[in-house]
Every structure is written in C-alpha cells, then in structure tokens.
A and B are shown apart, each in its own frame.
Chain A
Amino acid sequence: MSLDRARQLEMFRRMLRIRLFEEALIAHYPVGHLSIGQEGAIAGACMALRDDDYVTGTHRSHGHPIGKGAEIAPLMAEIFGKRTGICKGLGGSMHLTDTKLGLICESAIVGGGFPLATGAGLSAQVRGSDQVSLCFFGDGAVNQGTFSESVNMGAVWKLPVIYFCENNGYAVTTPVEKSHGQPEIARRADGYGIPGVVVDGQDAEAVHAVTLEAVERARAGEGPTLIEAKTYRFDEHSNRLAIPIEYRSKEEIEHHRKERDPITLYRAVLQARDLLSEVEAIEEEVRKTIDDAVEFAKASPEPEMSDLWDSMYVNPIGAPVGGEGL
C-alpha cells in the first residue's frame, strides 16, 4: 500500500479536510480540542491502514475519523449536538466515533484508549484476522498507568497494535521535559521489548512510511510498535479553556505556523511533483464539503430525551424503549 499519486492526493485531501473542518468550527461553533498543526501525523498514520483496521482516539480527535476517511457532515453535526450527528449528538467533540471505519472509541479520559486498542488487537488475533489496531495518544497520556499496562500486554501477547504518539510537546501547558523522566518517548519501547521509532510528524509521507512498516510487522504477527511523531499544536489546548500564562513563546508558535505547517509543506512537495492543478481542485472540493457540512449541521434537528434511553442498552430488560425503566 505504498503511496501512488492518487493516494498522495488523498492524503493531502484528508489533511486539508481536518484543517478546514476545524477552521469552520472556530468560525461557527467554537468548542473542542483542535488538531490544527497535527494533520500530517494523523493523515500519514491513517493512510497506512485499511478501512477495516481499528483506531482509538483521544479528547483531541476530530482528525482521527477524518484521517480514516469518514463522511464529514455527520461529524460536523455531532459537534453541533444534532440528532444527525454520527453519535446522535450524545458524544460530541471528544467522542467522534464512526464505527463504519473501524473507530471504536475516542476517550476523553486521557489514556483510556490504550486498553481498548489493545483489546481490539487481541480480538483480531483470536479471530485469526489480519486486521490491526492503531492507538492514537498524546505525550501526556504516556504518564498514565494504562500506557505501561497495555503496551506490556500487547508486547507479551504479540498483538497487532500500533501505539502512535502525537507528541505535540505539551500536556495542556506542561512541557514534556518537565513531566517525563525519559522525555524521548520512543525510548520507552525498550522497557517492553518492542521497537520504538521517532518520526517528524510534520512530514506526512515520512509518518506514512514508518506507520506502514509497523502495520506490516503487526499483520505478520510480530507484535506492536511504538511510534513517536514529533508534531505541534498551533492552537491552545481547548477552545473553551482560558490560558492565563504564556507557557510557550509567541515566537515558538509563529515558527511552527510559518516554517512547520504540515499542509504548506506537503502542498509544496506535491507542487514540485507537478500536481498543482490537482491540489487546487481538491482545495475547491474540500471547501465545498466543509461549507455543506456546516449548513447540514445548522439545519439538523436536536436529539430528544428518548434518544438517551434508546442508546443505553442493546437488551433493555424491564425498560420500555424510549422511557425510564432500569
């Protein structure tokens, strides 16, 4: 599954969809944790997966379903809290799960996805499937106990899991150097006897290449890989969180925005490959997709109380559907 021209353009499309999706949120519905700046890591990793491979995400997870190729309008409607949302307006910004594309959880509990991704890998192994499971997490999540517990289990059982760290340098405001005894996150892999790889997260093709290698290793039954993609969050931790201090310098942010924007960088690569007209057509198309999604979300109905009850149990013993029971 190397990147031919069509897939290079598809990767660019997904990166741009993430960027414009979130810019539309800033303009129309400013909630949530934005991935702007991290699109190269997300799309690069997702393009190494098949549609039936599993993905778990985080609180900062608008990009993960988009990177996996999900339809945009139900994601937008979800963040608007509408009934047409992918989760009927019950999950929201931190839980944009689209199971049709193998997404099984975006955990708003930091580190909550490690066991779930590991379990999806166990399931593939027990069923004799060659599916793999990719677990996205941030640098902060590495300090949760579930990281150590789950990566260890993945390693012991040689599960087909890719532990993919989007290291954007800060856990909310705390820099990696001030919260990790070993700030080189990929080196933690040594503690579990698995490979650890560092990659430039702003270089989507480089991310794709290392992820593909890890995916092939996993499909071959050789177990997990820990990938650390060094990336950068252009915006603040959350649209809703006031940051009272300057924990990173304006110069640092400007440097990344100007010199290290994964979309600008990849656009230049594609232009050098003589694909500018195709890129421009994608830019036009994605703008329209996002505009249409915003209109769809705005026009959609709100969920109802009965949707809550109907989403609780598969088998609601004693509970009438649409009404209080259990």
Chain B
Amino acid sequence: MTMRNATQKLSYLQAIVEAQREEMRRDERVILMGEDIAVYGAQTLFDEFDEKRLRNTPISENSFVGVGVGAALTGLRPIVDLTIASFCYLASDQIINQAAKLRFMTGAQLAVPLVVRTSTFYNNRTAAQHADRPYPLFMNTPGLKVLAPSNATDAKGLLKSAIRDDDPVVVFEDINLWGKKEEVPTDEDFLVPIGKAAVRREGGDVTIVSIAGCLPHALSAADALAKDGVEAEVIDLRTIVPLDKETILASVAKTGRLVVADNSHKVGSVASEIAAVVSEEGFESLKKPIQRVAAPQVHVPYNAALEKQLFVSKDRIIEAVRAIA
C-alpha cells in the first residue's frame, strides 16, 4: 500500500504505463494487446507480467481490436493499444459495429469491458495519414464512452476508470502532451471519474472549453487575456462522451460567452456538438455568438510551418475571444 496522498513525478506517457501496471496487478483479467508493445510503451510490463497477458499483435488492426472485443465478451478486460488514431478507421468496423452495438443488439445480455487506447499524432510532421483526431466519429457512435485527458494525472486516473468500467471506452492520448511531467498520485485506487469536466481556471468574462492538447494553449491565452482585464474560465473537457453539459452550461450562464478549442476538423466537430448543446439549452445566457477554434477542412500537410497553422494555438484562442469581447 502506498500513502493516500503520496505522489511521484511522471510524464503523461509514464502515467499511462503506471495505470496499466496497477490495473494488471489488481485484476488478472486485464490484458494488453497492440503492435510492438514489447518495444514501445509496455517494455517494463513484460518484466513483471506473464506474456500470455501481453500480446504483441500482427499488423491486423481491425481483427486485433475485434479479438479484444471477443475477449471482453468472455471474461477478460482487455486494453487494446491502437497506437495511432488514424488507424481507428481500419478498426472502425469492430469498434462501431461490434463493440458499441453488441450489448444493445443482445438486449443487454452482453457487456463489453474493453479499452481502446489510441494517440493523436498531430503537430508531429507525420502528414495526413498519421495525424487524425477522430473524436467526432466516435462521439457520433452511441454505446461508447470517449475520453481525452490533458495531463499526466488525468491520463492515469481516467485510464484506470476506463479499465474498471464495464462498457467500451475509447481513450485518445495526445502526443503533444506525452513529455509533460507533473506530480501524479500513487494511490492504487486514485481514479478520475468518467463524465466530469474540470474547471482549470475560474473567470467571469468568457468560457473557454478545451479538449485534450488544447489546454496549455487555452491557459496561456487566459493569462494573456487577464493582462488586458478579460477573465477567462477554462474548462478542460476530459470526457467527450458522456458530455458534462452541466459544467459547461453553468459556466456559460456565468460568463455569457463561449469559445471551444478543439483540434478535430471544424465541421461536425466536438466543438460543434458543444455549440449546439449550448444553443439549445443555454441560449438565454449567451451575449454573443459561440466561437469554434478548430482545424479547417483541409488535410494535415507534411510541411511543419503549414501544419502548425491548422491547430489550436494561444493566438487563435485570443483572437476568438476578442471577436466576442
């Protein structure tokens, strides 16, 4: 047992490994599958656990995710590492047609306690087929839960909650946050609840809802705006499904202004859904139109200078706030 309030300094990526280690120690039904996990990501887990619980898979994304689904249906709690979020499309049949629907189609006879982990590789010069942020595809799929942690503590606590959850959960890990270190609780039962956004900064003038790696930019923008007397409230969404409408609507009721920072493509984005919810349920609070800061409808280029301009930045958030000041 560790001290309840003890912490250790971990990067976002190390926190993910620790979450898996703790849950594999806690529950022998937890297994981990993915491409080259023995070399990338789970090396230290191989030192500790039986290899039958750690499966280096062939390059068969749709089927190894489906193997995870089949194992989840029959007594295990698999974590499937889908490595790069653009690979989700290969596995989308098993995620959407099987994992998300099997409980429903069987009249709740089945449960699918599966975690699909995948990383959004944007701002990394990997070009259009490695750089997707496909949160909206899965937000539009009933039956899943969808997470997008923004720091090491949440990466650990949310992943642990996902592993213990009895429903299929897709976790988007943001590679722009991989190296960021902070003090992370070591208590094995430290969990971050699914479905709860976090208010990272309080303010009364404008609400900025931030998704995943947008958070550092949102906080820098808020600091800059404060120097000009604009107090922004920054909400870190953390869970995309189920959406914490309550926290967002309460903040907009206070500020009357909303900017949503989301690195998915703007059309049909998570930001679009949040804007729609606030329009439907919080319209009376709004003093100005909602602003979405998102990626435009072009593909991610290889050229670094061009790529950077597509994604959320401090300056783009400030510009959006100024537009509705």
Chain A positions within 8 Å of B, measured between CB atoms, are 54, 56, 85-91, 95, 97-99, 104-105, 107, 109, 112, 114-127, 133, 145-146, 149-150, 152-153, 156-157, 307-308, 310-315, 317-319, 325-326
User: Is the Cβ of B195 less than 8 Å from the Cβ of A104?
Assistant: no
Residues of chain B contacted by A114 (CB below 8 angstroms): 63, 66
User: Is the Cβ of A314 less than 8 Å from the Cβ of B242?
Assistant: no
Residues of chain B contacted by A104 (CB below 8 angstroms): 70, 73-74, 110
Residues of chain B contacted by A145 (CB below 8 angstroms): 62-63
* CA distance in complex: A124, B71 (Å): 8
The 4 closest A-B pairs by CB, nearest first: A119-B70, A115-B66, A88-B107, A149-B63
Residues of chain B contacted by A313 (CB below 8 angstroms): 103, 143, 145, 167
User: Is the Cβ of B143 less than 8 Å from the Cβ of A118?
Assistant: no
CB distance from A33 to the nearest CB of B (A): 16
Residues of chain A contacted by B76 (CB below 8 angstroms): 122-123, 126-127
* CA distance in complex: A307, B52 (Å): 38
Residues of chain A contacted by B142 (CB below 8 angstroms): 312, 326
Nearest to A154 among chain B residues (CB) is: B67
User: Is the Cβ of B195 less than 8 Å from the Cβ of A318?
Assistant: yes
Residues of chain B contacted by A318 (CB below 8 angstroms): 195, 242, 244
Residues of chain A contacted by B29 (CB below 8 angstroms): 127
Residues of chain B contacted by A85 (CB below 8 angstroms): 107
Nearest to B99 among chain A residues (CB) is: A116
* CA distance in complex: A86, B108 (Å): 10
Residues of chain A contacted by B71 (CB below 8 angstroms): 119-120, 122-123, 126
User: Is the Cβ of B104 less than 8 Å from the Cβ of A119?
Assistant: no
Say if the beta carbon of B5 comes within 8 Å of chain A. Answer: no
Chain B positions within 8 Å of A, measured between CB atoms, are 29, 31, 52-53, 55, 57-58, 60, 62-76, 78, 93-94, 97-98, 102-111, 113, 142-143, 145, 165-167, 194-195, 241-244
User: Is the Cβ of B70 less than 8 Å from the Cβ of A123?
Assistant: yes
User: Is the Cβ of B63 less than 8 Å from the Cβ of A326?
Assistant: no
* CA distance in complex: A70, B123 (Å): 54
Cβ-neighbour of A315 out of B70, B78, B166 (below 8 A): B166
User: Is the Cβ of B110 less than 8 Å from the Cβ of A97?
Assistant: yes
Nearest to A118 among chain B residues (CB) is: B67
**What are 26 contact pairs spanning A and B, CB under 8 A?**
A88-B108, A90-B105, A97-B105, A98-B109, A99-B106, A107-B98, A112-B98, A114-B66, A118-B67, A120-B70, A122-B55, A122-B70, A122-B71, A126-B52, A127-B29, A145-B62, A146-B66, A149-B58, A157-B55, A312-B103, A312-B143, A313-B143, A313-B167, A314-B167, A325-B242, A326-B242
* CA distance in complex: A54, B65 (Å): 19
Nearest to B142 among chain A residues (CB) is: A312
User: Is the Cβ of A109 less than 8 Å from the Cβ of B60?
Assistant: no
Q: Given that A126-B52, A317-B145 are known contacts, is A310 also in contact with B108, CB under 8 Å in the complex?
A: yes
Nearest to A303 among chain B residues (CB) is: B107
User: Is the Cβ of A95 less than 8 Å from the Cβ of B98?
Assistant: no
* CA distance in complex: A296, B106 (Å): 20
Nearest to B244 among chain A residues (CB) is: A318
User: Is the Cβ of A311 less than 8 Å from the Cβ of B104?
Assistant: yes
Q: Given that A317-B195, A326-B242 are known contacts, is A115 also in contact with B106, CB under 8 Å in the complex?
A: no
* CA distance in complex: A85, B167 (Å): 23
Cβ-neighbour of A119 out of B68, B143, B166, B244 (below 8 A): B68
* CA distance in complex: A118, B67 (Å): 6
* CA distance in complex: A201, B174 (Å): 52
Residues of chain A contacted by B242 (CB below 8 angstroms): 317-319, 325-326
* CA distance in complex: A317, B193 (Å): 10
Residues of chain B contacted by A119 (CB below 8 angstroms): 66-74, 78
User: Is the Cβ of B166 less than 8 Å from the Cβ of A152?
Assistant: no
User: Is the Cβ of A317 less than 8 Å from the Cβ of B194?
Assistant: yes
* CA distance in complex: A205, B73 (Å): 31
* CA distance in complex: A140, B267 (Å): 37
* CA distance in complex: A316, B105 (Å): 17
Interface centre among B64, B67, B75 (most CB of A within 10 A): B67
CB distance from A153 to the nearest CB of B (A): 6
Nearest to B246 among chain A residues (CB) is: A318
Residues of chain B contacted by A311 (CB below 8 angstroms): 103-104, 107-108
